[in-house]
Structure formats: structure tokens, C-alpha cells
Chain A
Amino acid sequence: MIDLNALRTQAADILETGEVGAVIGWRRGSRGMAAEPVAIVAPEEAASLVWDPTCFHNLALYLVEERKKPAQRQVHGGKPIAIVAKGCDARAVTVLLQENHFGRDDVYVIGVSCEGTGVLDERKLAQVLPGVEPDGAAFDGDNFVFATSEGERRVPAREAMMDRCLECRNAHPKLNNVVFGEETPRDFDAPFAALKRFEQRPAAERWQFWQRQFERCIRCFACRSVCPMCYCDECVVDSINLVVTPETTAAEKADRVRWIERSASRADNIGYHMTRALHLAGRCVDCGECERVCPVNIPLRLLNNKMEREAREAFGYEPGASIDLPALVASFRDDDPGQFIR
């Protein structure tokens, strides 16, 4: 069980001593009971930090350059940034370190262990407690406890946590400067369990399934926007898919290749999601945020898990496992399998 006061004290201390310039964490939001991301800069703000089952966001995305780093831009001041990170979030920070977004000394990881549970899946909760919209959520051992107008409701975490948490690769953040919570044995699903089940379905049925999923995509790009690994300045799907500066010539602008049309047609949607999945191979840490935020419920983890497992099987590579390893796509070993380039 995490002592929230200890976490707050830690955050206040490192701000007080100037060890960090800001702490990115969660605070109570105004959207129902859900926590919301926040960057605090003053020690006294640490009292607003929270840790509960609605801390589903992967805050690592706010460490990334440009559009995702307003917090950093505002408060950096040359000092390291601290980030409160779950196991999956810490793996994302690891990948960003491998990809040289910042140095190890630029980030201070306040690890939080999900211990024997995970974070809440609000869609599952709506099924488990239909019609109930709780005012608050808390961890309690193997359960989530919800505050409602009719008193406390206790739900086994297994029934209402994210699928990604059921298959968690490591609920205890390995990369950390300080860590709260225990490394607890977990007894949920093995990684890739859902993928394995899905792959048992005949190919034709799977294709039909995916066609239906991609038909639904509205190209809001929330999956891309929320992903810490999707940080390219130029994205294949954008209408302006090149970085335009005053020096860019008219010909360069006119000649840009439009790989994927703006239309949310099934074919273009498939192009988008396949491109994204391939670009995440060996990088996706299965934080599952893309799947959580999708407003039309496309099971994006199945795609990313597939690529993750390919990388694992072909190269024995586990994304986010260690900052001492090079990034998968930036490394070569003599014993790498090479069947595909014969």
C-alpha cells in the first residue's frame, strides 16, 4: 500500500531543495472522480498530488519535445523534471532515454508500484456497477473501493482494471530514483494472453474483425497524441506532413507525398494504424493508453502487442527493460536472426 503522504513529502522535498524544477503527477480533476495530469513547481502544491486507480495516464508523454511538453517548457529552468511513474510509465521513460530525448540526469523518476492491482477501466466499471457514477476511487489490497452517494462499493480489481494491467509486464517501476509501494507477486493473465486468444480465430474472421474496427476510426488521432513514442515532427497522416519553415520552397511543399488521405475511409484508416503499429515495434511498452483513449473502442493493443511479441521472439528484446540496452531499431548484433534478408 502506497503512503500518499510520503509521496507528497518526497515531491515537496525535491522541489524545496531545487533538485528538480517541476513534478509531473496527478491531482484531483473536475471530470467526475478521475485524476488529471498536473505539473507542480512549488513545494506547497505537493499536497494536491494523488495516487488512486484513476491515475491511468502515462505522464511520460509530457517529457517529450514540442507539443507534448508545455509543462517542461514552462518550468524547466535547466533543472531536472520529476515524474510520477507506474511500471509501464517508467518503461516508457526508459525508451525515451534510449532514444536520447534527454539524459538520465534530466529526469527524476518517482516510481509508484501498482502492487497487486492496476488502474481502472471506466468502461468495465460501467458494466460492473451499472448506473453508478462514483465520486472517488481508492486501492485496497486486491480491491478497488468506490465512494458513492449510497456508501462504499468494493469491486475486485481484477473485474474492473484495464486489460493492459491484467497482462502487465512489470507493475513495479524498475527505472526509478525513488519508489513507493512493494513489488508484489501478481496472479493475472500472462503477457500476450488476449493476443494469443485472438490469434486462434481463423484468418478470415480476424480480417473481418479488423475491417469492422478500422471502419469505425474517426481519425481524431488521440491514439497518436497520447502515445509517448509518437513524437515525430512529421507524421505520415498529417495534411502538412513535412516541417515547413520560411525557407521551405513552394516546390517542396507541392511535392510532398500524401501517403494517406485525410478521409477517414477504411483503407486510409488501415494505412494509418498499420504505419503506427510498425513504428512502435520494439518501442511500445504496452502502457495501453492508445486503447484507453480511443473514443470508438478500437482494440489497438492487439496490434501493438503483436509487434512487441515479434520483436521479443525475433530478437529477445523487451522494450523499456533497461536503459543500458540500445534501442532495438538502432542496434545490430552478429547473432541477430537474418532470415528475412536472405
Chain B
Amino acid sequence: MEALLDKNRLKDWIAALDGWEAYAPARQDGIWSYQPAGDNPELNHPNTPQPPKGFAFPQREIFFKFEQVKGEAPRLTAVSPAPTFRVVFGVRPCDGRAVPRMDRVFSDHVDDGYYQARRDGLAYVGLACNTPPSRHCFCQSVGGSPVSTDGLDVLLTDLGERYFVAAVTDTGKALMQAAGALLAKPGAAERKEVARLHAAAVAQPQRGVNDAAAAPAKLKAGFDSPLWEELARACIGCGICTFLCPTCHCFDINDEVTGTVPLKGSRVRTWDSCQFPDFTMHSSGHNPRDTLGSRLRQRVSHKFRYFHENFGMHQCTGCGRCVSECPVGIDIVRVVNEIAGSV
């Protein structure tokens, strides 16, 4: 299903999505982020520093609440995300490609009910990258593309005054059907223009990982390379690279106590980061990953080796956030290329 939508009717399409909460990138306090779609959302954003992963995997998830009067059995109250229908506009193809990866993680061994409950009512309307949103993009070298539809329900292509709207999934078709007469039928000229734009987007030069297919074996061979410590020497051990990553999904679980008589609180899941020193610390105080290099190795190997060993695909989608946002310029592309080049 393909159609044309006047850009100034995007707001009307959103209004017509009865029962859906709509989100779109907005710039507030000098920073782009996904916000409830305002009166007139314009999809003219670079990529947002934070990916849309929080819609299905929020930084804080309450698993259940507990309460225990002294001497009595604890009482547990189940908490599960309220069913909602949410549609996220303006998702870049790299972030779209993160979706099936996260889906695998949260459904492979265990069906994560919290993730699924949020994911079930979630739709992504992507926006093709006619021009790269950033010089740090490297989607093509990791099997993606600036016009990839992977993980998206609809893909928009900017034609200047209009969007070319293409459904990818049945959910996407339903979203488009809700637009009714707002959508116009595309002609041969528009289709040709989309094909031209997509071909031009793919032809734009991009930096990248030299040989992603070889990366798992190379990283395995280079596991003990002294280069890891060398490449991590400037690392300050913060969580930017992992928290802003569209596919990083490690978490911690804690009981947050809000009262003691009776004892009560919540068990919550929060994002965690393999870059924090306490991530792997044992209760003895021993830390098997106590150097910056070993933690960099973990992050990069997860993206380009372990995930591939588990699921047959690279976890990294080449969005470039860990490169652009790193306070000291640690560059995953350089790391993979240097390690791979050394073995």
C-alpha cells in the first residue's frame, strides 16, 4: 500500500488515528527527543540523541509491588503495563532495525511479558534518510540502509512538499487506512522520484566497519589483543554509549523500599551498563572486568560477535550515537576495524 500525503496534513493524519497516542521528535531545551506529537509535528529532525527504545523498554519498569506486615506473609501485587496503542513518527531506519533485534532478546529464551505488553501496541512510522542525519552514520556497513524498512510499520520518504507513504506491515496498512481521504494515489512520476531518492541515499558516501561479516571471527581471534586497553585509554567509564544505544538492553533489578512499617515497596527493573565498574562486580569485591579495556571489549564484542553467535545478525545498526555522543571520541567503527586488522 503506497500513497502521498501533503506534509501539512501530517497533523490531520495523526488526529485521524483514533485510539492511538502519537509521538514525534521535538526540540525542547535545545535537545531533540520523542515527545507526544504536538499541534504541528514536522519531521525535520536529525536523529534524536536518545533512540525510541524506551517505548518498549523503558528505563524504569515496575515488576510488582510488595507489602509485608511483621509476622505475616508478604503480599504481592502484580503490575503490568496498561495496554495502549502508541505510534512513533519519524523513526530513522537504523532505529527501525533495532526493533527486531530487541524483539529477539525479549522473546528468545523467556517471553518478557513487560516488554511484550508495551511492544504489542506499538507502531513505528519511519522516515527515510534522504541525506545522512550525521557524519557518524554507518548503517550500510552493518547491513542496513538509509531507506531500510526493517522493523518499521510504515516508511515515509520526504518528497519536498509531500511524503511518499509506504506500508510495511498490516499495522502500517491499518494506520494508512485511518488516514482515508488525506492520502492521494501516487503516480508513476512520484514512484520514480522515490526510487531516485532512495538510490541517491544509498549512494551517499558513508564511513563504516570494513568487513562486518568477518567481525565475529576477527573479534574472537583478537580477544586477548593488547589493543583493547589501548583503545579504551581515554574512556571515562560513563554509560552514554550503552544508554543511548538503540539495542543495548542490559538491566538491573532492585527492590525500592518506600516504607518500613509495614515493609513496602516495588521491585523495579532499570537499565544497566556494562561500562559501569559495578556491572560485573561480585559480592566478594572481585571484578572480572575491572579494566576499561575489558569493558570496551565486552560492549563491542556483544554488538559484533556474541549477538551474532546467538542470533545470526549483528546487534549494531550503525546509528552512530555511541560515536557522536562519546565525551572522549571512542569510536566503535575504529575499534572494530583496528582489532580486526590486527589479527
Residues of A at the B interface (CB closer than 8 Å) are 29-32, 34-39, 57, 61-62, 67-68, 70-71, 74, 123, 133, 212-213, 216, 218-222, 224-226, 238-240, 243-246, 248, 253, 261-265, 289, 292-293, 295-297
Contact = CB atoms under 8 A, between A and B. Distances in A.
Contacts of A212: 29
- Which 10 A/B pairs are nearest by Cβ-Cβ distance? A244-B285, A36-B329, A222-B238, A225-B238, A220-B239, A293-B327, A29-B329, A297-B31, A225-B236, A31-B329
B236 A222 contact: yes
Contacts of B326: 31
Contacts of B238: 220-222, 224-226, 293
A8 B243 CA distance: 37
Contact of B268 (A29, A219, A253, A263): A263
Given A38-B234, A295-B49, 17 more contacts: A36-B234, A36-B329, A37-B328, A38-B233, A67-B237, A71-B233, A213-B29, A216-B29, A220-B240, A220-B243, A220-B273, A221-B239, A222-B240, A244-B285, A253-B283, A265-B60, A295-B240
13 contacts: A31-B324, A57-B328, A74-B233, A216-B31, A218-B271, A220-B239, A222-B239, A222-B240, A238-B276, A239-B254, A246-B284, A261-B254, A261-B268
Contacts of A263: 59-60, 254, 256, 268, 270
Given A70-B229, A246-B285, A264-B270, A225 B237 contact: yes
B7 to A, nearest CB: 19
A72 to B, nearest CB: 10
B53 to A, nearest CB: 12
A57 B256 CA distance: 36
Contact of B236 (A29, A35, A226, A248): A226
A292 B291 CA distance: 25
Residue of B134, B234, B331, B334 with most chain A CB atoms under a 10 A cut-off: B234
Given A32-B135, A226-B327, A292-B327, A261 B256 contact: yes
Interface of B: 29-31, 33, 49-50, 59-60, 134-136, 229, 232-240, 243-244, 252, 254, 256, 268, 270-271, 273, 276-278, 281, 283-286, 291-292, 323-329, 331, 333-334
A71 B293 CA distance: 12
Given A239-B252, A264-B60, A30 B284 contact: no
A32 B136 contact: yes
A253 B270 CA distance: 21
Contacts of A292: 327
Contacts of A133: 134-135
A71 B50 CA distance: 31
Contacts of A295: 49-50, 240, 243-244, 325
Nearest to B28: A212
A265 B176 CA distance: 36
A244 B284 contact: yes
Contacts of A62: 234
A242 to B, nearest CB: 10
Given A29-B329, A244-B284, A70 B135 contact: no
Contacts of B291: 70
A224 B331 CA distance: 21
Contacts of B236: 61, 67-68, 222, 225-226
A324 B229 CA distance: 37
A298 to B, nearest CB: 8
Nearest to B333: A30
Nearest to B31: A297
A238 to B, nearest CB: 6
A220 B50 CA distance: 12
Nearest to A227: B236
Residue of A30, A57, A224, A289 with most chain B CB atoms under a 10 A cut-off: A30
A32 B334 CA distance: 12
B59 to A, nearest CB: 5
B57 to A, nearest CB: 13
B329 A34 contact: yes
B327 A240 contact: no
Contacts of A262: 252, 254, 268, 270
A318 B193 CA distance: 62
A265 B60 CA distance: 8
Nearest to B251: A262
B327 A244 contact: no
Contacts of A253: 283
Contacts of A244: 281, 283-285
A239 B256 CA distance: 12
A70 B278 contact: no
B62 to A, nearest CB: 9
A295 B329 CA distance: 14
Nearest to A71: B233
B329 A30 contact: yes
